[in-house]
């Protein structure tokens, strides 16, 4: 990505489109791809995680208060995911995901979940998912307001529909729009202010 002139004296916040197979951190003793391969901005840190085998939006910031707003589940900031799953969930399965499913000894919060009528327009993943000839796939859009470890994958698996590909497309008001995999952009003061706005409850 072309070098950008960075503002000085400000707490910077970036939106980054994390590619598949990239760790959500800046260092790795095993030498695997990390954020440092794409982002050369001093002082910013990932506000939240996105698993190595997942793709999509991450926010990085030098503002500790903003990072808390993004990551603390009590803030209820919505995060939107697209999940390609094995088979086609019926309405009962979708409703169970909406109500919340048990993951170990904890039940997930109510979520917004819908079955997409067709596959979203997305670039191919560098490592294609493993297709099984006799097993169809479908796409779900899920909006969560918490951040349990590998939550979307665990939720769909618990409902009987394992996730094959997972992309986070929005965090609060910030979306992936205009960012290709591996690209980042600086958030404007207005966008940062919008993240700080209190979250509204899901319908």
For the annotated catalytic residues, the residue numbers are 51
For residues 156 and 83, what is the distance between their CA atoms, to the nearest angstrom?
9
CA–centroid distance for 24 within its chain: 11
**Helix axis angle, 64-71 to 189-196, nearest 10°:** 50
Token pair for 149 = 């470890």
Are 73 and 67 in contact by the 8 Å Cβ rule? The answer is no
Token pair for 115 = 């079955």
| DSSP string across 187-200 | PPHHHHHHHHSPPP
CA–centroid distance for 169 within its chain: 6
Q: Give, in order, the Cα–Cα distances in Å from 146 to each of 15, 48, 69, 128, 183.
A: 19, 11, 12, 29, 26
């Amino acid at each position: 990505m072309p070098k950008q002139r960075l503002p000085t004296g400000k707490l910077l916040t970036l939106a980054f489109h994390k590619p598949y197979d990239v760790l959500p951190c800046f260092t790795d003793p095993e030498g695997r791809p990390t954020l440092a391969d794409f982002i050369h901005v001093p002082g910013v840190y990932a506000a939240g995680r996105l698993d190595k085998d997942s793709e999509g939006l991450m926010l990085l910031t030098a503002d500790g208060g903003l990072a808390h707003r993004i990551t603390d589940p009590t803030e209820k900031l919505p995060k939107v995911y697209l999940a390609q799953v094995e088979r086609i969930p019926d309405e009962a399965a979708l409703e169970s995901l909406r109500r919340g499913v048990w993951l170990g000894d904890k039940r997930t919060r109510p979520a917004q979940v819908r079955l997409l009528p067709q596959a979203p327009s997305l670039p191919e993943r560098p490592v294609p998912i493993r297709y099984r000839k006799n097993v169809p796939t479908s796409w779900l859009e899920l909006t969560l307001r918490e951040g349990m470890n590998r939550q979307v994958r665990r939720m769909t698996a618990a409902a009987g529909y394992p996730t094959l590909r997972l992309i986070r497309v929005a965090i609060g008001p910030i979306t992936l729009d205009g960012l290709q995999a591996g690209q980042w952009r600086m958030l404007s003061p207005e966008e940062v202010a919008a993240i700080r706005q209190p979250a509204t409850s899901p319908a």
